[in-house]
Every structure is written in C-alpha cells, then in structure tokens.
Amino acid sequence: MLDQERMPRHVAIIMDGNGRWAKKRGMPRKFGHREGAKTFRAITRHAKALGIQYITYYAFSTENWKRPKDEVDAIMDLFEKYLDEVRDFIEENIRVRFIGDRTRLSENLQRKMASVEEDSKNFDSMTLVLAINYGGRDEICHAAKTLAQQVKEGKLEPEDITMDMIERNLYTEEIPPVDLVIRPSGEQRLSNFMIWQAAYAEFYYTNILWPDFKGSDLDKAVIAYSERNRRFGGV
C-alpha cells in the first residue's frame, strides 16, 4: 500500500539504458529509444494514477548532440511523433511543460511545443515536464545572464540578488523542487540533470533498463522514498 501522505510531489526520471536494451537484441540504438518512448507513455499514466503531481523526464541533454546524427535524428522524430500523442494527455487533464534551450530545435518542433503548452496550461491533474536540449549548468548560466542584464540596465543591485530570484529565472519557474530522482540502467550519477532543483532530492537507482521499466518499478521507487527520512540539512 502506498502512503499518500509520504508520496513525492515531484518525481524526475533519467530515461537511461535504451541503447543497451537495443544492443542486447542486436538492434540499432534507435529501436531502444522507440521502446523507451512507449515506457514514457505508460509510466506517465501510472504516475498520474498514483497521484504524483509533477513528473519530469530527461529526454535529451545539451550533451546528447554529440551522438551520431542518425541517432539524434531518430530521437527528434520520436519527439515530433509523441508531441502529437501528448495531445492525448491533454484530454486526461495533464498540463505539459518543456524545459531546456529550445533555440537549437527545429522550428516545427518549437511550434508544436509552444502549442501543446498553451493548450494544456489550465489543466491541473498532473504536470508533465519534458527536458529537451536541457542541461542544469546551461540553465543556471541562462538565469545568471538574465539577472546580469537587469543589473546592467540599472533595475537590480548585485547585492539584492536572492536564491529565490535565481529560481524564478530557471526554466522550471513555478515548478516545485524535485523530491525523488529515479535513474534506471545501473548508472549512479546525476548527469547535469536539475542540479539546482534536485539539491535535496532522494535518489533511487535500479539495474532495469528504461524500456523494461514498469509501473511496479515506479511503485517500488515511491515506496523506497516514503520510507526515507528527509532532513534538509537539519537533524
């Protein structure tokens, strides 16, 4: 049984292991991403059923451009396809948001992202956040530039800059801090994912590859979280 009182409000998932899943089957890496995208859809519905309010997925990092063009193109094609499917989520009262630097994405993708965000902005059963061309350091650098510009224009004094101001200039704006980070596939690192927002997050690792990750694995992660004692630097 899941204790609603001790549920994480914001769960962030690093969808890792797609490439290895495909390799194990002798298939090109992009097949792993295709399966991973199916898992993304199933887990989002499961998270909503559990009552999780915010779920963020690391879909593409600022470093992922280094991958072969064929693989990057396949991932971008999947985004396009799923952005159309994400419209189904809208019907389920799910608000969709994107974080990351959009300027490097195709104009068509940017247009679709803006329209999904606009059409779902008033929904409140859950917020689904997709990190695309996202990097935590890039995000903090972007916030620093915005505040520096305000200082330059004489609208802000450097000594008046607060953590709250930095937070409000991150891509996540009004999205609450991350409570639980889940990383499948056996890796145990944050990889530049929500480094500000996950400062006090609990971590959950599993050896399961992302395409094999099931609703029952999310349940296990949430149960493990509910049994932890978060102290936020206190005693």
Residue ranges binding ligand FPP (CB under 6 A): 15-20, 33, 36-37, 40, 57, 59, 64, 75, 78-79, 82, 130, 185
Min separation Cβ 197 and ligand FPP, Å:
18
Based on CB atoms, which residue is closest to ligand FPP, 149 or 207? 207
Strands lying side by side in the sheet with 202-205: 94-99, 126-134, 54-61, 10-14, 180-183, 202-205
Residue nearest to ligand FPP (CB): 19
Based on CB atoms, which residue is closest to ligand FPP, 37 or 126? 37
Is 88 in the active site?
A: no
Q: Cα–Cα–Cα angle for 56, 61, 66, nearest 5°?
A: 160
Q: Are the beta carbons of 66 and 36 closer than 8 angstroms?
A: no
CB atoms within 10 A of CB 10: 23
Based on CB atoms, which residue is closest to ligand FPP, 78 or 222? 78
3/216 Cα distance (integer angstroms): 15
Torsion of CA 65, 135, 228, 15, to 10 degrees: -20
Q: Are the beta carbons of 40 and 15 closer than 8 angstroms?
A: yes
Q: Which distant-in-sequence residues (6+ apart) come within 8 Å of 109 by Cβ? A: 76, 79, 80, 83
Min separation Cβ 38 and ligand FPP, Å:
9
CB atoms within 10 A of CB 23: 13
Min separation Cβ 94 and ligand FPP, Å:
13
Q: Which two tokens stand for residue 121?
A: 């902005």
Based on CB atoms, which residue is closest to ligand FPP, 130 or 143? 130
DSSP 204: E
Based on CB atoms, which residue is closest to ligand FPP, 16 or 139? 16
Min separation Cβ 37 and ligand FPP, Å:
4
Q: Are the beta carbons of 233 and 62 closer than 8 angstroms?
A: no
Q: Which residue of the set 64, 101, 138, 212 is catalytic?
A: 64
Min separation Cβ 142 and ligand FPP, Å:
21
DSSP 177: P
Is 64 in the active site?
A: yes
Residues identified as active-site? 16, 64
